[in-house]
Structure formats: structure tokens, C-alpha cells
Amino acid sequence: MPHSPEATNSRPAGSDLLAQLGQTTHQTEFYSPVPDGYVRGRHKYVVVLGTVMSGLGKGVFSSSMAKMLKDKGLSVAPIKMEGYLNIDSGTLNPFRHGEVFVLDDGTECDMDLGTYERMLDQDLTRRNFITSGQLYTEVLDRERQGGYLGRDVQMIPHVTGEVKRKLRELALTGGPDGGPVDVVFVEVGGTVGDYENGYYIEALRELAFEEGEHSACFVALTYIIEPPALGEQKSKAAQLGIRALMEVGIQPHIIACRASSPITETVRQKIAMYSNVPMSRVFSLHDRESIYTIPDDMRIAGLDREVLSIVHLHDHVDAATEDASRERWRSFIRKLTKKRTHKATIAITGKYMQVRDAYASIRKALAHCGAHLDADLDVRWIETSDITRQSVADQLRDIHGVITPGGFGMRGVEGKIACVNHCRIQRVPYLGICLGFQTAVIEFARNVVGIEPAGSTEFEPNCPEPVISELPEQKKIEGLGGTMRLGAQDVLLTSDTLAAFLYDGAPTVRGRFRHRYEVDPRYIERLEEAGLIFSGRHPQHPIMQILELPLEQHPYFVAAQFHPELTSRPLAPQPMFMGLVAAAIQRANPDLETEQVSSRWLRAEPQHT
């Protein structure tokens, strides 16, 4: 039996160690499940761990590095590992954890996966997200089925073994086509030293040992403090955080130093000396104008070459692919960082205003549109709990466009309805999302159709006129039961509508849903007769998914039951957001020559879904 990474790496697949992986009997302690077809050492792993404090940007750093390698022609798959016992992020309060991001397959996950999707322009699945709750459930289910050969099931080796199983499965099936990937990027939530993350870190240490030399690259993301009273950067907290990582058996290969300003040469020297990491691998992850500039900054610092050297992938680089990818990205960065021609003010009228991360994808979608439409967007955050019909005009004064996002519960709903009413009457460009779609239906039913008690059974179970409700027939149709409608589904577009125009005439589009309540079919005919257009529907059933007002009545009034912000990408901004921003620019600059929805994005490049 070999005793060192060098020795194990020198043995071919099928060696003694590999043969024993996945077996835990009285004869061996090597429990490390290996999927069929997996070859040890063929796939590489880049692991990003946090120190000092959480929330420093591990996801931003990891996704930027993953993009840097993907641009070189390598296939990559990210995974976020969370220590909490929740099965997923669906029940987490936005005030505590920020936005719940929904993947195409319906997985409710951490907002960092949105960062990965946007940076990599790559749809992710449930394979890219793990929680302790998921792992413990699988381990206990397997134990009940006799899957551990009578052994006493323990954190080590069984739970750590499940972590390694997940990572190896992702390496085999994590590609966009379900095939293998060259590099798996592993982000562990929280920080080194957190009790709930200890077994993740141990599993990753074991994985690096088992895979062999040059199979893993460990990155420690730390924090450089700069107390205003001292006027200089201090690295002691960072040093202690890195020491905690080394104490659990992991020697980092790269140090990313989070700071408000570029880290000084003195600090880089201290970090390098203390961590045994060369200066060329100590990267300054300081505040920047945009996170989208980080991949190029990494290349300029030579971090791409360092990573390729650590995991021996230089011979996998496709130079032509890299040149083309970098030019496309740099074109976007030039738009993002240039001085803008237009200005507009967009209000987000929601109920989680104290935590802006609750609307992270909306912020990013607006940033994408601002870059492509050459516009500086002043985003105003307006708490709808404080809005009344009497105060709404003052709250929305000088606003050129309004977004009413999703949410749950009664609080702030009447304020949202007041905002919808103001936008409809004053012809302010409006985009409703999920609950913003439902409040638009309620407002129209009350004030145009004349159904004064119109409401939703979500807020009033005995509502006399439930234009929005959770219908038994819809539960049967969608198989919802007591759960939400989650994930991407097709939306059938009506031709010759604004929705069809926004999506370049496509007959159907896919939207990511996260909701329980629908437009009650009993009211659809009355709403349409009064002038509301349902331009997006379920392909088979009477479920309304996009609404709009005619362009002759309103410059831009659109709402979607799904969440369009979740699929906006830097190089492909979301069409509904593009339409809103273009209409807002037109309202802010009425002298602009326009046709339909501001001359199709103010003469920007055509956008495609």
C-alpha cells in the first residue's frame, strides 16, 4: 500500500488504493466511493475556502477563475457546498440569506449559483449544489438499506465519503451536455473553523490525497483589514485564518486577499512568507468597479498560468478559443466601464429593501442592460410597506421605470398595488415579476374591470373575488400538491404582441418559475374584455404567464409570472429587462427618435433568447 501522494499517483488506475476505494469492511478503512468509469487523476479540482469572515466573495473569485479556464477551452463545473441542515435554500428568509436562486431544474439554491451562471454563461443543475441536510439524508437512507456492510456509520469515513462521491460524479457528468469536465470548482460556504464545514474540508483533503499530485489546487480567500484609525493595512487576521487552514492539513496554493483597496507590497510579502505561497500566487481581490473585470485582472496578474501549472493543464489550452472568448468579454467590459450617453432612474418597489442581496439578480440584470443600452441607471429602492395610494405619487416622482419583484406574504402588497396603479395611469414603464404579475392583475381587476374586492387567496383565504388563487384543478394539472411550481417551463407566446416582439418573434420561451398562485381562469375572459392582454400562456392549460397592455395605451406595461432576472447574462441581457430600460430611457429623454420600444433597444445590437 502506498503511503504518499507521489506513490499513489505513480500507480495506474486499478491500483491497490483505487481498488479499495468504496469498500469499508473489517479489513480496510478506505471508504471513498468511485463512480463507474471514473479514472483517478484525470479530472482536476480547484477548491476555494474562506478565512476570517464569510461574505467576502468566494463565489465571485471562484466563478471568475472558472471563467478564466473555460475561456481557454477547458470544460468546467462549479459546486457550492453549504453547511446548513436545510435540504435546500427554499425556506431561507431573504433578510438572513439574500436571494433564493432557482435553477432550470427547479433547485432552490444559494445566490452564488447565480454568479456562476452569469459569469460562465452556463445553466447549472441540482448536481452543482450540496447542503449538509442533503448529505446526511442520503447517508441515513443508505444506512437503512444496509449500504454500509454492517459498519457503524461515522462522519469519517462515511459522510466524507459521500462528499467525495458527489464531487467525482460531478466530474463525470457536470458538463453542459451531461458529459465529463476537465475542472471542478468547489466553493465551501462559510469559513475555515466553522463546525458545520469541518467535514467538507476533511473530505477535500482526502480527495486531493487520493487523486494524486497535481490533481487539486487549494485557494484561501482571506481578508486584509484596514482600520481607518491606523491608516494602513493589517494582515494579522489573514495570517491567523490561513494558519487555521494549514492546521487541518491543507497547504494553500493560492491566496486571494480581499480588501477595500489594492493590497500593498508589504502585505503581499507577509502573506507569502507566512503561508509558504509564492508572491506570484498572492492575488489582490480589492474592490473594483465591477466584478466582471476580475477575470481579466487575474490574467494580467498571471494567475491563469499559475493555476495551469499547479494542476498540469497547460497542454489542454485552446489558444484560438481563448482569443475569441476574451475579445467577446472585453467588448462587454468596454461597454460596462465607458462613460454612458443616457441616464434613467429605475425604482424597485419591494418588501426586502434592507437587504439588497434579496434582489441580486434584478440588480445584475439591470447592470447588463445599462451596459448594452449605453445608460447610467440610478436604482431607487422603495419599501412598499410604507406606500399608500395617497403617497405613491410622491414616492415615485421623477422615476422613469418601475420593477415590482416577487415576494411572499401580505406585508407590502397594497403598496405594490398602489405602485401598479400609478404606473398604469401615469404611463410609467412597468415590469412586474411573479408577485408583481399578480398585483398587476389585482389592480386591473379592481380599477378597470370594476371588481372592487378583487384579491388573492394567498393574503385572504376567504377572498370574495379571488382573481389570484391556488386552484385544485391547477394542482392536479401541474402535480403541485402543497408545493410550489418550480423551475423552467415553456411559455407559449401570442403572435403580434409586445411579448413576441421582445423575444424576436419566438413562438415559445422558457421561464423559471417559483410560485403557488395563478390567475383564476374564471376571470380571464372578463380581464381580456376590459383590455388586459395575456400574451404568454401555458402550452396546454389555462394558466396565464405573461400580461401586457396595448402599446397604444401604454409605452411599456409588462409582467411575467416567472422570474426573467434569473436568466439574464452579461453577453445576453434579458429581453423583458431590455424593454423596460429602453422605455425608461425614452421617458427620461423624450426627444429620442423611437419606434416600438425605443427603436429596438435604442439601436443596440439585436438580443436573442
Residues known to be catalytic? 434, 563, 565
Hey, what's the cell of 575?
429581453
589 CB-side CA count, 13 A: 15
Please give the backbone phi and psi of residue 28, each rounded to the nearest 5 degrees, phi first: -145, 150
Please give the backbone phi and psi of residue 438, each rounded to the nearest 5 degrees, phi first: -70, -40
Cα Rg, the chain, nearest whole Å: 26
Task: Compute how many other C-beta atoms are within 10 angstroms of the C-beta atom of residue 514.
Answer: 21
Three-state SS string over 461-489 comes to CCCCEEEEECCHHHHHHHCCCCCCEEEEE
Burial class, 516, CB count within 10 angstroms (exposed 0-12 / middle 13-18 / buried 19+): middle
Nearest to 206 by CA among 8, 440, 461: 8
Q: Which residues of 338-377 are buried (b: 16+ CB within 10 A; e: fewer)?
A: eebebebbbbbbbbbbeebebbbbbbbbbbbbbbbbbbeb
Contact between 130 and 81 (Cβ < 8 Å) = yes
The Cα–Cα gap between 285 and 298 comes to 9
The Cα–Cα gap between 164 and 170 comes to 10
Task: Compute how many other C-beta atoms are within 10 angstroms of the C-beta atom of residue 197.
Answer: 20
The Cα–Cα gap between 187 and 62 comes to 7
Helix%, strand%, coil% for the chain, nearest 5: 40, 20, 40
223 DSSP β-pair partners: 258
Does the N-terminal peptide bond of residue 157 adopt cis geometry, omega within 30 degrees of 0?
Answer: yes
- Collect contacts of 593-599 with beta carbons under 8 A, ≥24 apart: 596/501, 596/551, 597/498, 597/501, 597/502, 597/555, 597/556
Sheet hosting strand 401-404, strand order edge to edge: 375-383, 342-350, 401-404, 430-433, 557-560, 544-548, 533-537, 485-493, 508-515
Q: Determine the 3-state secondary structure of 505 from DSSP.
A: coil
Contact between 295 and 341 (Cβ < 8 Å) = no
CB within 8 Å of 545: residues ≥ 6 apart:
491, 511, 534, 536, 537, 538, 560, 561, 562
Tracing cell 443600452 back to the chain, one arrives at 373
